Structures are given as C-alpha cells and as structure tokens.
Structure 1
Amino acid sequence: MSVLTVVARIEAKQDRVELVRSELLKLIEPTRKEQGCLQYDLHQDNERPELFVFYEGWESKVLLQTHLASGHIEAYLKAVEGAVASFVISEMTKIG
C-alpha cells in the first residue's frame, strides 16, 4: 500500500499563538479516528512558537479530501479565522 504523506504548515499571527495551538490540538483525536488516517502528529517549532506542522499519513487522496471537508476541520477554520498568517499543505510521496 502506498501512503500519501501530508505536511501541513500553519503559522499563527504573533498575538494569536495560543488560540491557534488550542484549536489545532482539538483536531487530533477526531482526525485519528477517521477512515484512512494512518498518522496525524502535531509539532510546534522550538524557536518560533507561532509555527506548527502536522505530519500526516493517509491511505488515499480521496480519504484526505474527506478529512479536509469534515465538520471538525470546518469548526477549526471558523475558530481561527483571522488568526493564521499562513497555511500550506504539501502532499508528498516517500521516495527512499
């Protein structure tokens, strides 16, 4: 089985770090229960606390898209509206 690796980079605005952190943490439990979720780990940069990275593993792009359309992602987006400076999702394939 080929795993779709996803790296999601979220940068909070300087004055909203705790809000974004709190809301990101709420995503972990429901996402790990989703069909096709193999890995969903949140990291926070040691030198730049406003920078967060999710390292994810998904069974397929279709199941990732289902995740991105889920109610908990929708709730997260509403909760952090205006608090995120940048958000980038990279879909990757392991090559070595």
Structure 2
Amino acid sequence: MSEQLTVIAFMRAKPGAEEELGRRLMELVEASRQETGCLNYDLHRSNTDPAVWCMYENWRSRVDLDAHFQTTYLQRFAQDKDRLLAGDSDMHYLSMVSAQAASRSV
C-alpha cells in the first residue's frame, strides 16, 4: 500500500452561505496546491444541491497532510467554519490499493 493519502471532504453550507463558502474554499485551492506534498487539490460542487461542496485531495503522505492542517490559511478557514457550515465536514481518508494508472494524452 502506498504512503499516498487521498482525502475527500464533503461540506454543506448554511442557508444563505452557499456562495461565500464556495469563495472561501476556492481561496484554499491555489495556496494548497503550492504546498510540499500536495499532489492535487480540487474543489467540486454538487450538481443537484448547490449547498454541497467537496474537496478532493491527494497528498504524498500523512505528514504532508498534517502540515497542511497547520497552515495559516486553513486555520483562518477553520475559525469561520461554524458561521459557514451546516454541521461538521464529512471527512474520508483513503489509501490507494491499486497501481496508479499511466498518464494518457487526451
């Protein structure tokens, strides 16, 4: 099993905070992508429920993810989460068990 760690986090915005939550999450994308150990960091929004947002992240290791959680910009987001989120984030931590697919040209 690889040391690589995948994180999938689902968040539901409080009523009226859907767009602000999206803006705040977008602010995390570019900064997170610059971190050592970040393989990808992508924001998604539900096609059927505009209050539901999802972060899909791959990290080189748990150590890199733990460092991500300590960044100032993620700490700032965490301070505002109670105002933006309707409940806790639904966090899933996964390890890849298949071989990584070869890159393909599209």
Structure 1 length as normaliser, TM-score?
A: 0.91
Provide the residue aligned with 1:94 in structure 2.
Answer: 96
SS at 1:5 equivalent: strand
- List, as ranges, runs of 4+ consecutive aligned residues in structure 1 with deviation greater than 6 Å: none
Shift of 1:2: 3.7
Provide the residue aligned with 1:5 in structure 2.
Answer: 6
SS at 2:8 equivalent: strand
Q: After alignment, is 80-89 or 44-53 more displaced?
A: 80-89
Unaligned segments of structure 1, at least 5 residues = none
Give the share of equivalent positions with the same residue, in percent: 30
Equivalences, count = 96
Provide the residue aligned with 2:23 in structure 1.
Answer: 22
Task: Give the letter for the 2:17 counterpart.
Answer: R
Structure having the higher strand fraction is 1
1:5-84 matched pairs, under 5 angstroms: 5-84=6-85
Structure 2 length as normaliser, TM-score?
A: 0.83
Shift of 1:95: 2.6
RMSD: 1.3
